[in-house]
A and B are shown apart, each in its own frame.
Chain A
Amino acid sequence: MSSTTVERGPRGSAHLSIAGRRRVRGVAGLLIGVGGLLLVWTLLSEFVFGEFLLPPPLEIGQIMWEIVRSGAFIEHFVPTILRLGYGFALALLIGFPVGYLMGTSRWWRAFFHDMVMVAGSIPGITYAVMALVILGISIFGPVISVGLVAMPYVAINVAEGLDSVDRRLVQMSDAFRRQRSSVVRHVLIPSVAPFAFAGVRLSFALAWKVEQLTEVFGGSSGVGFQIRREFEDFSIPGMLAWVLLFIVFMILLERFVLARLERYLFRWRLEDKA
């Protein structure tokens, strides 16, 4: 790391580059932030709620470590993450055609308008209990819930992406008599894909919450199911440990994997602006 951020200054002394300094400041901010969180939590646990109602961070940390060490972490995270992945695959599979129709035809736009608008404000509990009633206890519940929650965001972003397609490219393809399929493949899909991905990213926070809820109601494995079990055991520390592990994991996934992927997919756009 030092080789990339430390540059030789004009007098030969080592200076941190601007990017390096910014990175140091970012890490410091994160440390202060996490420290602040732990401080607030410890104070609340010590003076306001008491150790029984809100166990101190150290205790939760030990339980979290125990969960990771015993292998329960892998055992329940893998199914949860897989379902999330299948759900988003489903959302893309349906969202692409729906967004394509919405972006290209006025009639279909009016057709899907209300559904897309309403989908965002449907309470998550609806998906969870409906999935339980219709599908029983099965892995399809979380997958379909995630798909339904994320689909409108994908569709609306695909439609927005089609709005932004460079018309001159399409006209040029027409002028040179390119086939429809090759226009779709080389012009439309590359410019729309990042928007579809942005839809996934926007709905990410909402989707995994709904997935948790679905697992709480009708799961037989996964993090949500574990949370429900701890609740039924009346174990506040156990529940908090699972939740925090999951949140930390999700924030890392969001920040490092999804944000990078998005920057990668949108890189043509950044160059455009520069």
Chain B
Amino acid sequence: MSRAIAAPSTSEGPLAVLARFLRSDGFARLASYLFLVVLWQLVSLYEDRFPGPAETFGFLWIEVTGGAHGGVVRGQFLEPFAATLPRFALGIAISMALGVVTGVVIGGSRLAEALLKDTLLVLVALPAIIWAFLTQMWLGLGDDAVVITTFLSAFPFVAVNVVQGIQAIPRDLRRMSGAFHVPLYRRLRHMQIPAVTGYLFAGFRFAVIIGWNAVLLAEWFSASEGVGWRSRYWYDANRYKGFVGWVILFIAFIVLLDRLVLVRLQRRAFRWRDAQLSATERQAEEIDVGITGA
């Protein structure tokens, strides 16, 4: 289809080319971004505390280039990310490790499932803000509270996905490998690992998205540096353009990470399963962040 646009036939007039451009997918996307910017501008006109796009991007430029914000305060861009990313990575790493262990235990044993499944569901249902509040009361301000909030919010989602993966192995396959005395190593290699990998990637993706929200919340309440702290800093200073600017930065960060890395990984890991899905079904699958929580 893109080839059809790239090589218009010579007999067409400029109007026809324009019409085709207006009808193309590329223009539709462009139009959607224009629509959002106009909407943003309108909201800022309605509520003058809320900065418009021009103001916000002007501020972001100062912040990113490290210029002066009209005083002694200088722009910071890399420092907050440098403070946040190690906490985030550590939190996600712990939640992956603990989530896999919990998931294997619950998925593998009937008794463990009966005992722990409801605990897991309650953990999935707990909003990250509760962990942010609790860790602040337990541990005070600092790195520990942030890392622990991240991992406590994210790990139940990993565990739920691993459980689903293990339970998705067809019972016939399990029974057959038992009947034919397939050795444990080959059972792991050819049955369990391929079945769980896709779910593990899905769990990883949820952990990253949910963990990012948690790390921001925890930093908002109990940190003195980092992305969440920086946005709160501007919020407390009543400089809402600073706050909105940082919101744009942290949304851009997670969206780029999700779209460019995680969704591709997930699609690859599930390609054995989803080959026949239509485009819409696939899209529905990819926005389902809440589904495992339900």
Contacts and interface: CB of A to CB of B under 8 A. Distances in A.
Interface of A: 29-30, 32-37, 39-40, 49, 53, 103, 106-126, 129-130, 133-135, 152-153, 156-157, 159-160, 163, 201-207, 209, 212-213, 216, 227, 231, 234, 236, 239, 243, 247, 250-251, 254
Contact of B294 (A34, A159, A239, A254): A254
Contacts of B258: 121
B286 A117 contact: yes
Describe A's contact surface by its main secondary structure.
Answer: helix
A117 B32 contact: no
A125 B216 contact: yes
Contacts of A35: 115
B217 interface: yes
B137 interface: yes
Given A33-B118, A36-B118, A160-B281, A108 B127 contact: no
Interface in B52-104: none
B169 interface: no
B29 A111 contact: yes
Interface in B92-149: 114-119, 121-122, 124-130, 133-134, 137-138
A157 B251 contact: no
A213 B224 CA distance: 21
B47 A134 contact: yes
Contacts of B280: 103, 156, 159-160, 163
B290 interface: yes
Highest count of chain B CB atoms <10 Å: which of A29, A133, A250: A133
B194 interface: no
Contact of B290 (A206, A216, A243): A206
A227 to B, nearest CB: 7
B129 A212 contact: yes
A131 to B, nearest CB: 11
A37 B119 CA distance: 5
Interface string B202-240: 000000010011001100100000001001000100001
A108 B130 CA distance: 39
B274 interface: no
B118 A117 contact: no
A111 B32 contact: yes
B276 interface: no
A183 B32 CA distance: 30
A37 B115 CA distance: 7
B278 A134 contact: no
A104 B125 CA distance: 35
Given A125-B220, A160-B280, A119 B287 contact: yes
B254 A121 contact: yes
A33 B49 contact: no
B4 interface: no
20 contacts: A33-B115, A33-B119, A39-B115, A53-B138, A106-B25, A107-B25, A110-B28, A111-B29, A118-B251, A123-B212, A152-B287, A156-B283, A163-B278, A203-B290, A205-B125, A209-B128, A213-B129, A236-B137, A243-B126, A247-B126
